[in-house]
Amino acid sequence: MGKVRVLVIDDSALVRKLLSAMLDSDPGIEVVGVAADPLIAREKIKLLNPDVLTLDVEMPRMDGLTFLENLMRLRPMPVVMVSSLTEQGAEVTLRALELGAVDFFTKPSSDLASCFAECAQDICAKVKLAAQARPRAYTAVQRLDVPPRLSADAVLPRSQSPGTRGSGRIIAIGASTGGTEAIRVLLEAMPPDAPPIVITQHIPAAFSGPFAARVNHCSAMRVCEAGDGQPIQPGHAYIAPGSQHLLVMWDGAKYVCRLHDGPQVNRHKPSVDVLFRSMAASVGASTVAALLTGMGDDGARGLLELRESGAPTLVQDEASSVVWGMPGAAWKMGAAEEMLPLERIAARLLALAQQPIVDAKRVAS
């Protein structure tokens, strides 16, 4: 395979210079051109036919989102967004991923040279993996409005009799590159009374809260950023904060979310392996787990531990994944019993959650 040919699009001459030099330093990447705005970029795409674009979200003459939407509708190609670490930057970046961007990296408001130097390996890896992604043409989808969530309390007070340990299923999800959209698709398909869902998505700390709020608006479940000690309840989905590992533990009478500020695992924090291992130890065969699209292999070994504990496990198939790294690694090591396209995963998770819980460990074949 030849070098990945990149077009850098940014209105800042300094960012264009620093980013181009950093990418060119990787022997697997060639910066074939730069553009100061989307209108110039449009002509250079036709002329240079790059493999990947890096695109700033804030651009003159045409904003990055408008350009991206037009691009993904007319000429789908891999795009890595360049975002600021602000609440507004998080919202715009999540919208870009929804429109079809493969991945993103963040830049600070100052000391760009040091930031790019420190993050060079990670940024180059994102660009090279983006070249292998399968971008799809963007088509606007009209979504149904989610009706107000009235609980049974509106009719009858809830009984205070506590349940017993292991009486119900908990669904565990792990994802990385392409995962924000995959998780949105999955949660949109879940009913309001679905089993509780715990999720680790590789995402920066400033983005996990806005991401949870965004998905909450389009899901019948209650979706939130997980808090330490938060009880795990049916009809709720809990997303790991971008700066801490999420674990599930038994707390005397109930399962709760636990946040752990430990070191990175598999170069990630939060790590899917940490979540899955905690589930194998605390929930075991009552877990139903899925590993979705993502770069690398985080979560593959944890999924294997879950399968060995008796939990049903599955992965997203290659055709529907943006990057088939994590699910592919799990599949190859026998960690998953099933492999399904994204659009079938929600229904399958619900079906598996209805099956009787088998206490005996099943050794992966």
Catalytic residue among 37, 103, 202, 219: 202
90 bridge partner residues: none
| Eight-class DSSP state of 33 | E
The 3-state secondary structure of 195-257, one letter per residue? CCEEEEECCCHHHHHHHHHHHHHCCCCEEEECCCCCECCCCEEEECCCCCEEEEEECCCCEEE
Helix, strand or coil, per DSSP, at residue 274: helix
268 bridge partner residues: 265
Does 111 qualify as catalytic in the annotation?
no
93: left (phi over 0), alpha (psi -120 to 50) or beta: alpha
Nearest partner of 178 among 351, 328, 42, judged by Cα: 328
Query: What size, in residues, is the chain?
Result: 365
245 bridge partner residues: 260
Cα-Cα-Cα-Cα torsion 131, 132, 137, 142, nearest 10 degrees, comes to -110
User: Cα-flanking dihedrals φ and ψ of residue 177, to 5°?
Assistant: -55, 125
Catalytic residue among 20, 176, 208, 309: 176
Catalytic residue among 26, 37, 51, 298: 298
The token pair at 141 is: 């989808």
- CB-based contact 74:67 (threshold 8 Å): no
Does 176 qualify as catalytic in the annotation?
yes
- Alpha-carbon distance of 177 to 321, in angstroms, equals 9
Does 297 qualify as catalytic in the annotation?
no
- Alpha-carbon distance of 161 to 71, in angstroms, equals 56
The strand order across the sheet containing 29-35 reads: 29-35, 4-9, 52-56, 79-84, 103-107
Residues tagged active-site: 176, 202, 298
